[in-house]
């Protein structure tokens, strides 16, 4: 496998100049081919996502397949504009010159995608990489093996190896790929693995886009519509059984609303994901990806309870079907694993607060999260929290939905990542912004050439105009 990887990489290195030189029309044709290939394999993708994560057809369509269609369609509509050289303002020093930014493909890029949204988070960055004119090698996660298999067949029968190639494999395959001198690496996954990717990229001075994660907080302020907030948070937390990088990780609820929030959350979760009071609706509620991840949820729950947390609701589990039920916890110790690690599952700590200053201090005491969710009807509270807390992205009176707008950049900050994706931001992530200046036939730059004697007057004039 390692030898085949090297051979394909060398093919793409030889072909990358050809890809760079392709017209926008050629890139649009590639995107149309990708869209068509996905459409033909829709049923296979639905079956694979059901097998990997027990995703319902509707959830798979909404969060995976149709999401990628929207990404492709946005690129098809806007790529011609994105790729045009952008004229910039001039300066007094080059008053007659014309300055532009040209967008050029970075070259050969590597996409490493995760298992939780195994189609969306592989195909989405691929759209941007193709739009920018790169050659691409991609490796989807081995944990979502059914979807990875469909992806490999889809990619490798639609494109030639010197354009786009998909390789399956485990961590050893990823390691072999990271040893190669790619021009850009796009990684989606955990912060710990992100560090390894960045270290590998540094050996070849490759640029990186890291979409990581973190403990994305929700705040339900005193003025929030608690019923509406609870329903939205329950949906955002429990879609894909909490295995979402921007899922609400924990929620700060004003002390006057805690009991109401818990009751409304329970009702909303049961209505969306349960058949009755005790039975999960397997047609709407996905499973954990693996036994390891299932066991980790139990370990987080047990650790929190041992450290003094109380279980307000839920927490049952079925190991045979790898189904972990939703749970609400209170009085969770800051020293528990649940408050130290990204939960990435259906467990939700509910933290009571009396003053927003407490919330700001607590959030700022942790690494910058990928998302921040604020529920409030008071603009002053919203602005105070946005100004006081950093995050990759944010939603006001909703969760998750900012990722659905390709006109917004999606990405983290600090420990939750670097760089942005989607739409023009993804196009730019895979492009080199090249500065180009066309000098006029007549210019005055020679006035600044040596010798510098008798130029004190010119220096005074320059100081006035610059």
- At 32-86, the pLDDT tens digits run 999 999 999 999 999 999 999 999 999 999 999 999 999 999 999 999 999 999 9
* Domains of the chain from N-terminus onward: 2-212+416-434 (3.40.605.10), 217-404 (3.40.309.10)
Active-site position among 166, 211, 218, 389: 211
Paired tokens of 331: 């009085």
Mean pLDDT of 305-323: 96
Q: Is the dihedral of CA 121, 127, 132, 136 positive or negative?
A: positive
Q: Is 211 a catalytic residue?
A: yes
- The answer to whether the pTM exceeds 0.85 is yes
- At 406-436, the pLDDT tens digits run 999 999 999 999 999 999 999 999 999 999 9
Query: Over 90: is that where the pLDDT of 96 sits?
Result: no
Query: Over 70: is that where the pLDDT of 126 sits?
Result: yes
- At 367-384, the pLDDT tens digits run 999 999 999 999 999 999
Q: Is 218 a catalytic residue?
A: no
Active-site position among 218, 245, 389, 395: 245
Confidence class for position 466, pLDDT limits 50, 70, 90: low
Query: Over 80: is that where the pLDDT of 456 sits?
Result: no
Nearest-angstrom CA–CA distance, 174 and 376: 43
What is the pLDDT at residue 449?
77
Query: Over 90: is that where the pLDDT of 93 sits?
Result: no
């Amino acid at each position: 496998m390692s030898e085949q990887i090297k051979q394909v990489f060398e093919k793409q290195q030889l072909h990358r100049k050809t890809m760079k030189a392709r017209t926008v029309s050629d890139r649009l044709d590639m995107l149309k081919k990708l869209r068509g290939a996905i459409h033909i394999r829709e049923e296979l993708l639905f079956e694979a996502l059901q097998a990997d994560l027990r995703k319902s057809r509707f959830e798979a369509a909404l969060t995976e397949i149709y999401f990628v269609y929207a990404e492709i369609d946005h690129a098809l509509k806007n790529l011609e504009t994105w790729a045009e050289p952008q004229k910039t303002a001039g300066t007094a020093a080059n008053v007659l010159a014309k300055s532009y930014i040209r967008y050029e493909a970075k070259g050969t890029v590597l996409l490493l995608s995760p298992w939780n949204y195994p189609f969306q988070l592989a195909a989405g960055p691929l759209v941007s990489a193709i739009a920018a004119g790169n050659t691409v090698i991609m490796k989807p996660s081995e944990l979502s093996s059914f979807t990875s298999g469909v992806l490999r067949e889809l990619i490798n029968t639609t494109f030639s190896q010197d354009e786009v190639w998909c390789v399956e494999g485990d961590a050893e395959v990823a390691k072999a790929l990271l040893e190669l001198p790619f021009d850009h690496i796009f990684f989606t996954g955990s912060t710990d693995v992100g560090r390894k990717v960045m270290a590998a990229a540094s050996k070849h001075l490759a640029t990186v886009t890291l979409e990581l994660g973190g403990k994305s907080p929700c705040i339900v302020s005193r003025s929030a519509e608690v019923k509406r907030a609870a329903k939205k948070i329950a949906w955002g937390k429990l879609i894909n059984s909490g295995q979402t990088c921007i899922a609400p990780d924990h929620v700060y609820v004003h002390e006057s609303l805690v009991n109401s929030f818990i009751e409304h959350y329970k009702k909303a979760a049961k209505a969306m994901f349960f058949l009755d009071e005790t039975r999960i609706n397997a047609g709407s509620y996905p499973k954990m990806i693996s036994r390891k991840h299932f066991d980790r949820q139990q370990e987080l729950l047990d650790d929190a309870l041992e450290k003094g947390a109380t279980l307000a609701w839920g927490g049952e589990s079925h190991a045979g079907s790898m189904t972990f039920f939703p749970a609400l916890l209170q009085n969770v110790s800051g020293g528990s694993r649940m408050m130290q690690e990204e939960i990435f599952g259906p467990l939700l700590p509910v933290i009571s607060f009396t003053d927003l200053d407490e919330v700001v201090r607590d959030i700022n005491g942790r690494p910058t999260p990928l998302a921040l969710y604020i529920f409030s009807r008071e603009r002053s509270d919203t602005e105070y929290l946005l100004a006081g807390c950093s995050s990759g992205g944010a939603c006001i009176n909703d969760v998750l939905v900012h990722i659905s707008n390709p006109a917004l950049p999606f990405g983290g900050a600090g420990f939750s990542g670097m760089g942005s994706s989607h739409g023009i931001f993804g196009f730019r992530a895979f492009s080199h912004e090249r500065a180009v200046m066309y000098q006029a036939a007549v210019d005055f730059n020679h006035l600044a050439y040596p010798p510098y004697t008798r130029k004190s007057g010119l220096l005074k004039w320059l100081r006035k105009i610059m």
